[in-house]
Amino acid sequence: MDGHGTPAAGMKVLITLLKAELAHGILGLRLFMACVAIAAGMLGLVWLMGTGLSEAMRDNATRILGGDVAVTVVNAPLDRGTLEALDRIGRTSNVVELRSTAHAGSSPGSSRLTVELKAVDDAYPLYGSVALESGAAISDALAVRDGLAGAVVEADVLTRLNLVIGDVIRIGDTQFQIRDQMTREPDRLSAGTFLVGPRVLVSLKALEATGLAGRGSLVEYRTRVRFPEDTAIEQAIRAVADEEPDRGWEIQSPEQAAERVREVMDRTTTFLGVAGLAAFAVGLTGAWAAVSMWIGRRRRTIAQYRLSGATTSTVVVLHAVLVAVAGVLALVLGVGLAAAGAVILLGNLTERLHLLWSPADMAPTVMLVTLTLALGLAGASVAALSGVANLSPLRAMRDGETGTRLQPRTAWGAGLCVIAAAGLAILGLPNPSMAALAAAGLALVAGILVLLGDGIARVGRHLPARRFLALTIKQGLMSPGPVMLRTLALGIGITGITGVVATQQSLQTAFETQIPEKAPDLVLLDVQPSQVDLIRATVSETPALDGLQATPFMRTRILAVNGVPAEQALVNPEKDWVIEGDRSFSWTAEPTGAELVAGEWWPANYDGPPLVSAEEDVMQAFDLKPGDTLRYSVLGRVFTSTVANIRKEYHRTMRPEFLVVASPQPFRDAPHGWIVSLQGLDAESLSTFVADLTRSAPNVTVVDVRRLVRDAAEVVEGAILGTLLIAAVLLLAGALSLSATIVADVDARRREAVALSVVGATRREIALARLAETAMTGLVAALAGGAAGMVASFWITTAALRVDWTPGLSAVLLPIGLGVITSIAAGLSGGLGALPRGRGQLMRLLAG
Amino acid sequence: MNHARPPVVDLTQVTLAYPSPDGDVPVLNGVDLTIDTGEIVAITGPSGSGKSSLIAIIGGLEPISEGTAHVLGLDLALQNERARTLLRRRDIGIVFQAYHLVPSMTALQNAALPLILAGEDGAEAKATEMLTRVGLGHRLGHRPSALSGGEQQRVAVARAFAARPRLVLADEPTGNLDQQTGAVVIETMFDLARSSGTALILVTHDPALAARCDRTLKIETGRVVP
């Protein structure tokens, strides 16, 4: 420190200098601040969102499941003996879920709505609580009053049926009085993601009176168990499983609750995590380039300080403090915006998902994000500030190039800070193993880019220099430091942007394929065999109705393959969903029309032991071949069948598609429902058809697929918009980072351009030389960065997101475009822009 | 003096004003000046009198506001920036107090630049000869940061004379140098100008140096005074 040698005096000098510098402002660091703010905002938002969602899911796990363990069966309830056995293990609650139609009022011609009906017992919920708008208790709301059972409904029921609290709805043969509006259902996510209507909650006793849960209906029976506090949970779950080993039921622990929701969330948060990491890398590189640029611009000021007697440490500390002030301001702005965004988005999302969440839960993550970014910035700034320490005042005043080479100790310090920050980010971001691999990939790419930069400098040194263009290119390329910095900053930016855009394109394609290409207008559920012929007759008599397909619809659970339990027989873990829960099942005498991958259909008159047709996903899950055997449960019974063929379904028709289809016997005569789909030429004919059907077959649930498709399209468009916004923010971060390198270059080359102009080089010649020089780094960075981005996106898309890699033409052209644009921008601004045009400005530069 | 050839520089009522928020600030105010081939002219005057601006106008680095400026037969007001730059490349060498060498290039490359730009063969050989003449034959491969102030200025002198220009402009070329080093630089410039018949316009505060020139012009508040 300076002053009279004492620390206090040195501090006084430093404060005086700082006051003078801060009075002048820190606008010179605005590019740095923009890079930091964007990196902080983007990393902060994805980190807070990812962590918030994961923690909300974890904290709500038992509420989502509704117990410490849940047993689900379809079609038929558990045996009384099993229920009693479960009662002995812990406190139980029984819930029944099915789809049905709710009618406004009691008259047959009233408006109707497909609803997700849920009947609960008095013990419900074992964990959490149902939130009703009036604040009343759920048991009171569902109780029988004046001979009418109570129901609580989601707001959508009231809006779409134009009802108010106190009005009556009819479900099946029973009338319910709407007692309250439900704002939170603690176990909502356990119902899965495909809900065709709003929720209606009634009591279990009232459901029995409706007659809807009769044999053949698609009904899910869930029994949740809450264990006493000191229960050994794993043992208890095993005991539950042993009750009916061949029942084909689904036993879930809290960790397995809402598996499908978790999958969607994991996919989303993984994309967010990788985008955040890319923004972090691009932002830090931009921040490093921007501080390097700022220091390069202050070369002479720094030299003046040094020549005026300031020690190296004083000058370094002075600049470090200035960078820190700018960094803290940008960090506060970025993290603040991220936190505000996360509060709004998480609040909205958790409310929609019926999860308990408080903004206060974010506090530790906000601190961790800030610490991570501060560490990363410290690393980037230390690397850039080493230019202050290494600056030779004499060389700076003589226009010599100042040292940008990092001293080993500084490099280690900067490296450790960045590694620590990256480590924290990896641990904090969703899917740490994925983030670690992505970070390792980015580090590898950075290393390759540095080597390529060094290679360009080596090539530059050996270029012949007989012509002006060649000479200036050679001079521009031969210093390894700046060339490596440019190649690295540009390459990392292009890698991140290409990777995220290519991934976004693939996700967008995947999302778009969720919208069916050809969908029926109506799907009718729980149609009894006797009602199918009636519907067929109606449709054939009505010219405006068409495209009827009627198929038996049951649920199955695959238990074993070739005698090996399904869990052990699984060879493709990505297809584990085929054994998770109950899957669609049907029987048919005729071929379904699906493409056959292997094997043959059974003859139309086949009535031997059941044969099955497995969907391609089952084949991939177990490496299944025709001739293998499947053991599966249907309607509470267990069957073993030989696989006759493998089918391929395309999943984009919204017509019923089945994982397993069996030959007719013995299912043809078993009590089960049918699923019917049809199309209508106009809305009026469909309305008339539904009104007639509701009167003649009140048990049938009508699903308006047109509305579902509209809803799905809205969700998909929202998701696409979200990923596009993320890609756009990253593009902005990349653009800022790239401008930092361009501006740094222009600045460094201004004096050179002036000198060249003095000896008679035209603006065009200077620009052309600079363009050729920047094109070299631009091309190499674009090719290497683009290739790395594409490889990264392929890996993220196929390994983590598990969707097809469809980067699209834009992602292929993007790196080339970015490289070209950056090269042209750097070339033109470093050539045409380096020489001032205003009257008297060149003179000022020439005066020294 | 040889009046058979047209003058190298012929300025008539030249004015130069820089814009400012408070209106134009006049720098040169009706300057008349004629310089012939091979003539060595000193321009003196107090700081801020417009000496450097006059050099910038003659060198085509700054367009005039009013009047006419003919340099080597060209009316500068009618030339665009490219034409003025090409004129500088072919026929004008400039030496500044602040050297203005390209930092990343060696002494040899800096000195050879005008020749390389003109596309001349043997640019490096000619530049080597010129650097040897200014006493830097042993410093060809050094970059500016490795050279002393005097050496950098001698590289700038070699660069200015390398393409055998018809006019060299020197704006306080010894302003950053000690007396002895300055003298060496001036001797070199005089020697090169005399031997090649190049006109030399020298801005200086040094009366002794001005006295060694063929003629001295004094500028005060933007005007040439007797």
Residue of chain A whose Cα is closest to the Cα of B114: A759
Contact criterion met (CB < 8 Å) for B103 and A399: yes
Minimal Cβ distance to A475: which of B18, B86, B104: B104
Q: Is B153's Cβ below 8 Å from some Cβ in A? A: no
B40: tokens are 């060595």
A756 touches B at CB < 8 Å? yes
The letter for the amino acid at A285 is T
Q: Is A390 on the interface with B (CB under 8 A)?
A: no
Buried b (16+ CB within 10 A) or exposed e, A563-598: eeebeebbeeeebeebbebbbbbbbbeeebebebeb
Residues of chain A positioned with their CB less than 8 A from the CB of B53: 843
Shortest CA gap A371–chain B (Å)? 40
For residues A259-277, give the mean pLDDT. 71
**Long-range CB contact pairs, A436-444, < 8 A, 24+:** A437/A795, A438/A273, A438/A274, A438/A277, A438/A278, A438/A792, A438/A796, A439/A277, A441/A788, A441/A792, A441/A795, A442/A277, A442/A278, A442/A281, A442/A492, A442/A495, A442/A496
Higher local confidence (pLDDT), A112 or A115: A115
> Which residues 191-210 of chain B have a CB within 8 Å of chain A?
none
C-alpha–C-alpha distance, residues A294 and A740, integer Å = 9
In B, which residues are within 8 Å of A756 by CB distance?
Answer: 102, 113
Assigned token pair, B141: 């491969």
Question: Which two three-digit tokens encode residue A430?
Answer: 């969703």
Q: Which of A758, A841, A843 to mutate to test the interface with B (most CBs of B within 10 A)?
A: A758
Burial zone of A358 (CB within 10 Å; 0-12 exposed, 13-18 middle, 19+ buried): exposed
Contact A335, A366 (CB under 8 A): yes
DSSP H or E segment with residue A205: helix A204-210
Cβ distance of B102 and A752 shorter than 8 Å: yes
CA dihedral A489, A491, A495, A497 (to 10 degrees): 60
* d(CA B178, nearest CA chain A) in Å: 16
A761 touches chain B (CB under 8 A): yes
Q: Does A747 touch chain B (CB under 8 A)?
A: no
Q: Identify all chain A residues contacting B152, using CB atoms and an 8 Å cutoff.
A: 398
Chain A residues with CB under 8 Å of B146 CB are 400
Residues counted in chain A: 848
- Would you place residue B2 in the very low, low, confident or very high pLDDT band (cuts 50, 70, 90)? very low
Distance from CA of A833 to the nearest CA of B (A): 14
Question: Which tokens sit at B110?
Answer: 């800096």
Which of B85, B147, B164 is the best mutation test for A, with the most CBs of A within 10 A?
B85
B104 in reach of chain A (CB within 8 A): yes
Average pLDDT, chain A: 80
B24 interfacial to chain A (CB closer than 8 Å): no
Give Cβ neighbours of residue A625 (< 8 Å, ≥ 6 apart). Answer: A598, A619, A643, A646
Q: Report which listed range, A410-419, A426-435, A507-516, B204-213, is most confident.
A: B204-213
pLDDT digits 0-9 by tens, B69-119: 999 999 999 998 888 888 888 899 998 888 888 877 889 988 988 888 888
Question: At which residue do the structure tokens 């969720």 appear?
Answer: A514
Residue that wins the pLDDT comparison between A260 and B145: B145
- Taking the CA of residue B4 and the nearest CA in chain A, the distance in Å comes to 29
pLDDT at B107: 92
Q: Cα separations (Å) of A693 from A175, A476, A548, A554, A797? A: 19, 81, 15, 22, 46
Optimal mutation site among A394, A759, A773, interface B, most CBs of chain B within 10 A? A759
Q: Is A222 helix (H, G, I), strand (E, B) or coil?
A: strand
Report the C-alpha gap between A404 and B191 in whole angstroms: 41
Stated length of chain B: 226
A802: left (phi over 0), alpha (psi -120 to 50) or beta: left
Of A105, A215, A227, A233, the C-alpha closest to A162 is A105
pLDDT, tens digit, 9 for 90 and up, residues B25-55: 888 999 999 999 999 999 999 988 888 889 9
Mean pLDDT of A526-549: 84
ipTM of the complex: 0.80
In whole angstroms, give the CA distance from residue A651 to residue A659.
11
Q: Compare CB distances from B159 to A401, A759, A839 and report the shortest one's residue.
A: A759
Bridge partners, residue A679, by sequence: A546
Integer Cα distance of B88 and B117 in angstroms: 11
- Looking at the complex, does the CB of residue B79 fall below 8 Å from at least one CB of chain A? no
Exposure b/e, A828-839, CB count within 10 A at least 16 = b: bbbbbbbbeeeb
Pair of tokens at residue A66: 């509704």
Contacts of A467 in chain B (CB under 8 A): 116, 119
3 state SS of A692: helix
Query: Is the distance from CB of B77 to CB of B63 less than 8 angstroms?
Result: yes
Q: Residue B11: beta bridge partners?
A: B33, B69
Contacts of A770 in chain B (CB under 8 A): none
Instruction: Find the mean pLDDT for residues A69-84.
Output: 78
Reported as a single tens digit per residue, the pLDDT across A552-594 is 888 888 889 999 998 889 898 878 878 876 788 888 888 877 7
**Closest by alpha carbon to B171, among B28, B45, B35?**
B45
**A760 vs B117: CB contact, 8 Å cut-off?**
yes
Taking the Cβ of residue A479 and every Cβ of chain B, the question of whether any pair is shorter than 8 Å is answered with yes
- At residue A243, the pLDDT reads 66
What tens digit of pLDDT does each residue of A1-51 get? 554 557 776 677 778 778 877 777 666 788 888 888 988 888 888 888 888
Q: What is the mean pLDDT of residues B131-159?
A: 89
Distance, CA of A3 to CA of A309 (rounded, Å): 10
Q: Which residue of B has its CA nearest to A755?
A: B100
Question: How many CB atoms neighbour CB A95 within 10 A?
Answer: 25
Give B86's contacts in chain A (Cβ within 8 Å): 760, 762
Token duo for residue A33:
């601040």
Q: By percentage, how much of chain A surpasses pLDDT 90?
A: 13
Give the mean model confidence (pLDDT) for residues A171-191: 87
Q: What residues of B are in contact with residue A476 (Cβ under 8 Å)?
A: 104
Point out the residue among A752, A757, A843 whose CB comes nearest to the CB of B85.
A757
Print burial letters for A156-169: b (CB count within 10 Å at least 16), e (below 16): ebbebbebeeeebb
Angstroms from B87 CA to nearest CA on chain A: 7
Q: How confident is the model at residue A716 (pLDDT cuts 50, 70, 90)?
A: low
Reduced to 3 states, what is the DSSP secondary structure of residue B64?
A: coil
**Contact status, residue A560 vs residue A643, Cβ threshold 8 Å:** no
Instruction: Report the alpha-carbon distance of residue A221 to residue A240 in Å, rounded.
Output: 16
Q: In sequence order, what DSSP letters do the residues of A648-679 get, joined into one string?
A: E--S-S-S---SEEE-STTGGGS--EEEEEEE
Query: Among A189-198, A657-666, B40-49, whose mean pLDDT is lowest?
Result: A189-198
* Cβ–Cβ below 8 Å for B61 and A399: no
User: Could you read off the pLDDT of A762-819 as tens digits, one per residue?
Assistant: 888 888 888 888 788 888 888 898 899 899 889 888 877 777 888 888 777 877 787 7
The reported pLDDT for the residue numbered A141 is 92
Question: Do A118 and A111 form a contact (C-beta atoms < 8 A)?
Answer: no
Inform me whether the pLDDT recorded for A450 exceeds 60. Answer: yes
A-contacting residues of B 33-72, CB under 8 Å? Answer: 52-53, 56, 59, 61-63
Which of B90, B109, B117 has its CB closest to that of A761?
A: B117
Give the whole-angstrom CA distance, residue A3 versus residue A17. 12
Chain A residues whose CB is inside 8 A of the B103 CB are 399-401, 751-752
Condensed to tens digits (0 to 9), the pLDDT of residues A585-636 reads: 888 888 877 788 899 889 888 888 889 999 888 898 999 999 999 999 887 7
- Cβ separation A847–B149 shorter than 8 A: no
Contact at CB, A751 and B103, closer than 8 angstroms: yes
User: What is the nearest CA distance from B161 to chain A, expressed in angstroms?
Assistant: 11
3-state DSSP call for residue A615? strand
> Alpha helices of B171-223 — where are they, by DSSP H?
179-196, 207-211
Query: What is the rounded distance in angstroms from the CA atom of residue A597 to the CA atom of residue A587?
Result: 19
Cite the DSSP H helix spans in A759-799. 763-795
Q: Which of A758, A839, A840 sits opposite B100 (nearest CB)?
A: A758
Which residues lie below 8 Å from residue A89, measured CB to CB, with a gap of 6+?
Answer: A225, A227, A231, A236, A239, A240
Question: CB A764 to CB B19 under 8 A?
Answer: no
Asked whether the beta carbons of residue B85 and residue A759 sit closer than 8 angstroms, the reply is no
Q: Which of A382-396, A580-594, A654-668 has the lowest mean pLDDT?
A: A382-396
Centre a 10 Å sphere on the Cβ of residue A497 and count the other Cβ atoms it contains. Answer: 28
* A768 to chain B, closest Cα gap in Å: 13
Q: Which two tokens stand for residue A100?
A: 């049905």
d(CA A796, CA A278): 12
A751:B100 CB<8 A? yes
- Cα distances from B89 to residues A474, A589, A743, B162, B213, in angstroms, run 21, 93, 28, 11, 25
**Where does the pLDDT of residue A434 fall: very low under 50, low under 70, confident under 90, or very high at 90 and above?**
confident
Lowest mean pLDDT among A182-186, A473-477, A509-513, A620-624: A509-513
B164 touches chain A (CB under 8 A): no
pLDDT band (50, 70, 90) for residue A517? low
Nearest CA in chain B to A835: B61
Q: CB distance from A463 to chain B under 8 Å? A: no
Question: For residue A847, what pLDDT is reported?
Answer: 65
> Would you state the structure tokens that stand for residue A662, as one six-digit string?
């069996």
Question: Which contiguous run of DSSP H or E holds residue A94?
Answer: strand A91-104
CA distances from A694 to A151, A218, A701, B189 (A): 21, 18, 9, 109
Q: SS3 for B29?
A: strand
A765 touches chain B (CB under 8 A): yes
Please tell me what DSSP assigns to residue A121: -
CA–CA distance, A252 with A263 (Å, rounded to integer): 16
Which pLDDT band holds residue B1 (cuts at 50, 70, 90)?
very low
Phi, psi of A177 (to 5 degrees): -95, 130
All residues of chain B having their beta carbon less than 8 Å from the beta carbon of residue A761 are: 85, 89, 113, 117
**What are the residues facing A672 on neighbouring strands?**
none
Mean pLDDT of A432-456: 86
What's residue B138's pLDDT? 92
Classify A398 as helix, strand or coil. Answer: coil
Chains A & B: contacts with CB separation below 8 Å:
115
Higher-confidence position of A416 and A690: A416
> C-alpha dihedral over A66, A71, A73, A78, to 10 degrees?
-110
Which candidate, A810, A812, A829, A809, places its Cα nearest to that of A738? A829
- The tens digit of pLDDT for each residue in A473-482 reads 887 787 777 7
The CA-based angle A41-A43-A46, given to 5 degrees, is 100
Contacts of A754 in chain B (CB under 8 A): 100
Higher pLDDT, B120 or A651: B120
Residue in B62, B145, B155 to test binding to A, most A beta-carbons within 10 Å: B145
Q: Which of A123-137, A323-337, A569-583, B31-45 shows the lowest per-residue confidence on average (mean pLDDT)?
A: A569-583
Region class of B169: left (phi > 0), else alpha (psi between -120 and 50), else beta: beta
Mean pLDDT to the nearest integer, B59-72: 91
Q: Would you state the pLDDT for residue A152?
A: 95
**pTM, whole model, 2 decimals?**
0.66
pLDDT value at residue A8: 73
